[in-house]
Structure 1
Amino acid sequence: MWSLLVPDLYIASIYDLDARALRARGIRGLIVDLDNTLVPWHGSETDEALRGWIRRLRDAGIEPCIVSNARSRRVEAVARQLDIPSVPWAAKPRRRAFRRAMERLGVNPAETAVLGDQLFTDILGAKRLGLYTILVVPVSQREMWWTRQVRRLERRVLAWMKRRGLLTGPVGGGGGAR
């Protein structure tokens, strides 16, 4: 059970992700969460740093797709700004949305990584399909009230993982290659 929550990589910021190293692992598709991963919670504006990050992924041969539990309009607005596909109303950690994203990207599980800020949605859902998982420190402290409650448990689980040697990190200083 615990193995379904342990990310394969833990990073401080999306900008600390080494796209070329990911591609060397055979990854061609990157499923990315929206809230507190790409943009702050409830955010819908992208900036040049984020658009540059998407370009670097593509330059490395990795195609991204947003998979979010958020509502369609906002998810699709961000996806349009970044010119990438999206799967809104994902109901993570259910597997259906991850499968749909892989179909849209034309990749199989061995070629797919998932990047997100939550253990119990992003990491758990991806691990249930055997996908490579990357946990990122949330970009903002501002969150939905329910998520704040889940974070309390998540912090305890992360501390337990670190004490057991199951997790190191986060890797990077949060600045990365902005």
Structure 2
Amino acid sequence: MTIVNYADKIIRELEQAADHLPAAETESLAKRILAGGSVFVAGAGRSGLMTRAFAMRLMHMGIPAYVVGETSTPGLEEGDTLLIGSGSGETKSLLPMAEKAKSLGGTLVAITINPESTLGVLSDITVKLPGVVKDKADGTSQSIQPMGSLFEQMLLIFFDALILRLMEMKGQSSGRMFGRHANLE
């Protein structure tokens, strides 16, 4: 099979998965973000990279957003939101920070394949995305892609779609957002 064939299969998978994005939970999340407070994001591995991309777009919108673990990240305060991307919802390094955020009066959001996971159950808002948990991707799953690739790609697509919804809700344009783009590159 060629790279073009694989790319076509991946795009078809993403199209099918996009049909299952949850509208109600997404709207609740958008309203929560616009309600105020800072947004903190966390995730491990490739899921973490997708949450970092989301934090950047929130910053471009003028919404205070931080990546957990960075040296310039302030402390979470009551009324802030911690958003965690975790396919399994069981990533051991993420669960203690979820519990800490709740104890500080933060709103906890889980973006996961498994809403019944420890993280999903603990969260105030749980958004279920299509995908395959990486250690369950054994070649018999609904994805041709390795490990958690489908979830990670859907996470980025979901975040970009959420940004578009937030832009619509705030009456924000791409041009206005570009004014907050890094200028020391």
Higher helix share: 2
Structure 1-normalised TM-score? Answer: 0.38
Structure 2-normalised TM-score? Answer: 0.37
**Which has the higher Rg, Structure 1 or Structure 2?**
2
